[in-house]
């Protein structure tokens, strides 16, 4: 696999990883006080998944030993991207049905 091929794959995957990562981080910074602990934990897990995707894309771009398309790394990338999206759906569903917004009950328990 040539360097141009590796960098092309890495760049495209990096964009697919960076968009949801930046969106999640921005959402977390702006709306942190509006949600409770469970919402925060799910959001942090999403950041871990999307950050892992960014790391995988960098690994593909920097690995000079690649001879062929790294199907294992691509599969792991897709898995992390799907799990991060699934966590977003779960977070939204739980928030709508069980009300994760509002003051955190753990902060006010005394």
Mean pLDDT, residues 12-34 taken together: 91
Over residues 47-65, the mean pLDDT reads: 93
Confidence of residue 36 (pLDDT cuts 50, 70, 90): confident
- The secondary structure element, H or E, covering residue 1 is none
pLDDT tier, 105 (very low <50, low <70, confident <90, very high otherwise)? low
Residue-range domain boundaries for the chain: 17-101
Residue 9 Rama label (left phi>0; alpha psi -120 to 50; beta) = alpha
Summarize pLDDT for 65-82 with one digit per residue, the tens. 888 889 999 999 999 999
pTM: 0.81
Both structure tokens of 104: 């955190």
Task: Name the helix (H) or strand (E) containing 34.
Answer: none
Q: Yes or no: say if 50 and 23 are a contact pair by the CB < 8 Å rule.
A: no
């Amino acid at each position: 696999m040539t360097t141009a091929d590796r960098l092309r794959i890495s760049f495209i995957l990096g964009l697919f990883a960076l968009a949801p990562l930046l969106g999640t981080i921005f959402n977390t910074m702006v709306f942190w006080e509006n949600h409770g602990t469970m919402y925060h934990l799910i959001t942090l897990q999403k950041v871990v998944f999307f950050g892992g995707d960014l790391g995988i894309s960098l690994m593909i771009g920097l690995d000079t030993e690649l001879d062929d398309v790294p199907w294992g790394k691509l599969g792991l990338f897709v898995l992390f991207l799907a799990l991060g999206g699934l966590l977003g759906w779960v977070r939204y569903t739980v928030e709508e049905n069980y009300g994760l917004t509002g003051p955190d009950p753990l902060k006010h328990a005394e």
